[in-house]
Amino acid sequence: MTVLYFAVVFLFLAVLGLALAFWVLARQIGVLFERIAPMGALVNDSGPKIGDQSPRFALQSINGGAVTLGAPSVKASLIFFLSPTCPVCKKLLPILRSARDSERDWLDVVLASDGEMSKHQRFVATAKLTDFPYVVSTELGLGYRVSRLPFAVLLDNKGTIKSKGLINSREQLESLFNAHDMGVDSIQDYLETQS
């Protein structure tokens, strides 16, 4: 009987110890979340700077129609640079579609790439991207100095570059919109001014 008594006491103390360890770990996770700020799109310093007027481009979409970028327009434009062979780009396509649908009042989304036209036509068909303007232009990527993919540039309706950066997740894409709404160059710049 005493063995059973000691076993119950030992188990009770073990449960109390585990509860205390859980509480300590939960506090440490909370401290980490306070110290580590959310990371926005990774801004590169090459190409036109945020706040500069965008170079102007008049391009043809492979889905039909003309696409004018950098000129004054009714809506802002998000230029999303992608590749048919980029797995991260493919992962972000549903997120882009959702962003385009939820922000349609003020934003147009344009997909952009370069290379062989037939590969892009197959990509548009297999990924069901016929409802996006899709331009294939080496000059466009060179104009914004795009060196890594996926990359996005947000232009306001006057053709001014409001934000840009390397995009790997929904949070990084939304950070471009947040920077635009807050009137800052990037989320990183905002966090630096706050600290």
> What are the φ/ψ torsions at residue 177 (nearest 5 degrees)?
-65, -40
**Structure tokens belonging to residue 19:** 């509860």
**Which residues are CB-contacts of 56 (< 8 A; sequence separation ≥ 6)?**
68, 69, 70, 71, 159
Q: Summarize the confidence of residues 28-36 as an average pLDDT.
A: 73
E strand segments, 37-119: 57-60, 66-69, 76-81, 107-113
Task: Please state, rounded to an integer, the average pLDDT across all residues of the chain.
Answer: 88
pLDDT score at 123: 96
Identity of the highest mean pLDDT range in 1-5, 30-34, 36-40, 83-87: 83-87
Chain centroid to CA 174: how far? 6
pTM above 0.85, yes or no: no
